[in-house]
Amino acid sequence: MFDPVVIVGAGPVGLVAALRLQSFGVPVIILERNAQVQNDLRASTFHPPTLEMLDDFGLTEGLLARGLKTPMWQIRMHETGEKAEFDLAHISQDTKYPFRLQVEQNVLCELATKQIGGMADVDLRMGHELGGFTQDGDGVALQVKDLSGKNYSITTPYMIAADGARSFVRKSLGLKFEGHTYPETTILVTTKFPFHEHIEGLSNVNYIWFSEGTFSLLRLPDVWRCSLYADKNQALEDALHPANIEEKLQRIVPKDTPYDVEEIRPYRIHQRVLEDYRVGRILFVGDAAHMNSPSGGMGMNGGIHDAWSLTEKLPKVYRGEANVTLLDLYTKQRLPIAKDEILKQSHKNRSRMQERDPAARRQELSRMQAIAADPAASREFLLTSSMLSGLHKSRAITE
């Protein structure tokens, strides 16, 4: 019997990688620094192919029970209500799930963690942090520290780095993470205010231009998420002041009483990618390997698609049925998709909404409306935005 594969990080990507390896008979240890699943404001959209994948573990049913099916999403002008609305019914022949599912990523983590809890061959170690590692031709030796401060070592033939955007593994190896950070800070605000009862024809996913900038409104089962920005010449600290958050929300729907704001989370957006997802016996997946704008909801979804691709190959290499170089096919399949599909598409989405010029906005809205009105063009567009075409392209790469 070989030593288990070690996955560093029990975020959505690490947990899905663990479930899939287990399903192929590979024993796994997952190290997670936090004692519990985190429920900070992060991914809220699951795309159709991800729901298809998670179906293999019965997780989609649980997500559907706790999420909002969103068959349409839109781009609109706030003042006039003009919009381009995309209907995923146009890809109903391409997927079993022709909708975006609006549900928080921590729901997936909770469901996956629960399922893993009952598995003898997956050892989920919450509160265990990777503090150092070395690798040679035979495997990787890891130094781990648990919450009580106890240090111990483990060895593994393969380590999967699913340790997120600030990846300790990536930094320890001194790998280049080429790309850039966008200048703006997004201010994510949640409120229970029912925007859908006050804005005509709103969907659950709305990217909106207005005279003073842009915002988005994303609905989850019991809360709305509003992505706001500092006004031109407004310092971020001022923009974050509760009175200014209130002013920004009042511009969306003016009302007599103040908004009941639940959470405010500012965050910066990065666009970065590794040059190779394999370094010897260490494999990178998810945010540890690539980061992109959340516009379009592709980061977690793309990370899960990485995990899917890697875990197709790793069991064969682990059992000695294939040479370790099979793992290079994982990079060959997924790196171009990160660069040419996910980063590119999310950059386009972000740039579209950051556009300030009224004429350019109008031209773009007309272009999007023309796509939305044409079933064939809609299908093409939705196959890309729903991440199906990226997966098809990646699977077509065979060597």
Distance between CA 13 and CA 163 in Å, rounded?
A: 9
Position among 4, 5, 6, 11 found at the interface with ligand FAD (CB under 6 A)? 11
184 binds ligand FAD (CB under 6 A): no
Q: Does 220 bind ligand FAD (CB under 6 A)?
A: no
Cα–Cα dist 170/288, whole Å: 7
**Residue selected from 3, 27, 34, 191 as contacting ligand FAD according to rule CB under 6 A:** 34
Single residue of 41, 274, 388, 391 touching ligand FAD by CB under 6 A: 41
Residue from 18, 19, 28, 31 in contact with ligand FAD (CB under 6 A): 31
Q: Where are the alpha helices (DSSP H) in 294-343?
A: 299-318, 326-337
Q: Which is nearer to ligand FAD, 16 or 91 (CB)?
A: 16
Query: Quick one: which of 217, 214, 222, 207 has its CA closest to 262?
Result: 222
Per-residue mark of binding to ligand FAD, 86-105 (x: CB under 6 A): -------------------x
301 contributes a contact to ligand FAD by CB under 6 A: yes
Which residue from 164, 214, 226, 272 is in contact with ligand FAD, where contact means CB under 6 A? 164
Q: Which of these segments, 160-168, 195-203, 208-216, 251-259, binds ligand FAD (CB under 6 A)?
A: 160-168
Nearest to 331 by CA among 295, 291, 289: 289
Q: Report how many helices (DSSP H) and strands (DSSP E) the chain contains, helices first.
A: 13, 20
- Residue 245 in the binding site for ligand FAD (CB under 6 A): no
14 forms part of the interface with ligand FAD (CB under 6 A): yes
Looking at beta carbons only, is 13 or 26 nearer to ligand FAD?
13
Q: Which is nearer to ligand FAD, 10 or 249 (CB)?
A: 10
What is d(CA 99, CA 218) in angstroms, rounded to the nearest whole number? 14
Binding mask 322-361 for ligand FAD (x = CB under 6 A): ----------------------------------------
Number of other residues whose CB lies within 10 A of the CB of residue 338: 26
Q: Which of 22, 44, 203, 349 binds ligand FAD (CB under 6 A)?
A: 44
Least distance in angstroms from the C-beta of 366 to ligand FAD: 27
Beta strands in 127-230 (DSSP E): 128-135, 140-146, 151-156, 159-161, 178-191, 205-210, 213-220, 223-228
Tokens read off for 298: 């592709």
- The C-alpha torsion from 304 through 309 and 312 to 317, rounded to 10°, is -120
**CB-wise, 84 or 300, nearer to ligand FAD?**
300
Give the burial string for 374-390 (b: 16+ CB within 10 Å, else e).
Answer: eeeebbebbbbbbbbbb
Q: Determine if 42 is a binding residue for ligand FAD (CB under 6 A).
A: yes
Q: Does 33 bind ligand FAD (CB under 6 A)?
A: yes
Place of tokens 């997120």: 164
Of residues 118 through 157, those in contact with ligand FAD by CB under 6 A are 129-130
Q: Which stretch binds ligand FAD (CB under 6 A): 91-99, 298-306, 329-337, 378-386?
A: 298-306
Residue 249-288 contact track with ligand FAD, rule CB under 6 A, x = bound: ------------------x------------------xxx
> Helix axis angle, 105-117 relative to 59-66, nearest 10°?
140
Total binding residues for ligand FAD by CB under 6 A? 37
Buried b (16+ CB within 10 A) or exposed e, 8-28: bbbbbbbbbbbbbbbeeebbb
What are the residues whose beta carbons fall under 8 Å from the beta carbon of 84, sequence distance 6 or more? 74, 75, 76, 365, 368, 369, 371, 372
Based on the shown chain and the rule CB under 6 A, indicate whether residue 17 belongs to the binding site for ligand FAD.
no
Residues of the shown chain interacting with ligand FAD in the complex, contacts defined by CB under 6 A: 8-14, 31-34, 38, 41-45, 105, 129-130, 162-165, 168, 188, 267, 286-288, 294, 297-301, 303
